[in-house]
A = this chain, B = another copy of it.
Amino acid sequence: MQVAVIENVLKANDELAARNRQALRAAGVFALDLIGAPGCGKTALLEATLPLLRPLRVGVIAGDLATQRDADRIAPHAAQVVQVNTGRGCHLEANHVHEAMQRLRLNDLNVLFIENVGNLVCPVGFDLGQDVKVGVFSTAGGDDKAAKHPHLVHAAQLLVVTMSDLQPYVSFNFSRFDEDVRRLNPEVPVLRVSARTGEGLPAWRQWIFDRLDRRAPAATATQPARVVG
């Protein structure tokens, strides 16, 4: 019985995620689901990234159990921000994103970052309607975290290792991390970045723009003005 209940929950989630995806595509919005541990630097990465994406218009849905601190930090840099508080919920589900989307003017956005609840496990299994999942790790979090979280490494279209400026002070071995990643997902790119020094941010920005360029020509051709903000 428990299995049946969980299957129904996931099925309902997937149906709503499909509707989110349809609405985002119709509005020409490219959506990234950022998944990483609490404290891996997701919000700091967004604070550093958003100014680099101009003239794109960027929205952010920030998920946390409590507080609206992430939304407050991101607000100065984003066109639109919605904070979702999940209470005891350990991940965002499609219905959280669906509700948040009702509070966004999607037609005024080019990119939507969904900053998931800080958690390397539970968010992986829930489709939100995003275009890509980005796995976020930090040097301070240790080079063993890819191996310990194979499902995220499998599911992600990109992995970002934050806090590269801390590497001299922590024992993070990039070769070891890369080896674990390759074993689990030979294709996924890995970017090293530092929100503090700016290292790697141009490559991260470029990855996002490349993805936008690769979108269905119909979608971009009919809405060329949107990218000019």
Contacts and interface: CB of A to CB of B under 8 A. Distances in A.
Interface stretch (A22-30, A59-67, A103-111, A200-208): A59-67
Interface string A136-168: 011011101101111100000000000101100
Report the interface size class on chain A: 35 or more
Given A37-B39, A163-B140, A121 B169 contact: no
A149 B90 contact: no
A147 B39 contact: no
A144 B69 CA distance: 8
Interface in A82-115: 88-90
A2 B166 CA distance: 44
A121 B65 contact: yes
A9 B1 CA distance: 12
A163 B39 CA distance: 13
A189 interface: no
A5 B5 CA distance: 9
A69 B145 CA distance: 10
A69 B151 CA distance: 17
Given A66-B150, A166-B169, A141 B5 contact: no
Interface string A3-45: 0010001000000000000000000000000000111100000
Contacts of A170: 140, 166
Interface centre among A2, A39, A165, by most chain B C-beta atoms within 10 angstroms, is: A39
A212 interface: no
A171 to B, nearest CB: 9
A151 B65 contact: yes
A120 interface: yes
A160 to B, nearest CB: 14
Contacts of A1: 1, 5
7 contacts: A5-B5, A39-B137, A39-B138, A88-B125, A90-B121, A119-B120, A140-B170
Interface of A: 1-2, 5, 9, 37-40, 64-67, 69, 88-90, 117-122, 125, 137-138, 140-142, 144-145, 147-151, 163, 165-166, 169-170
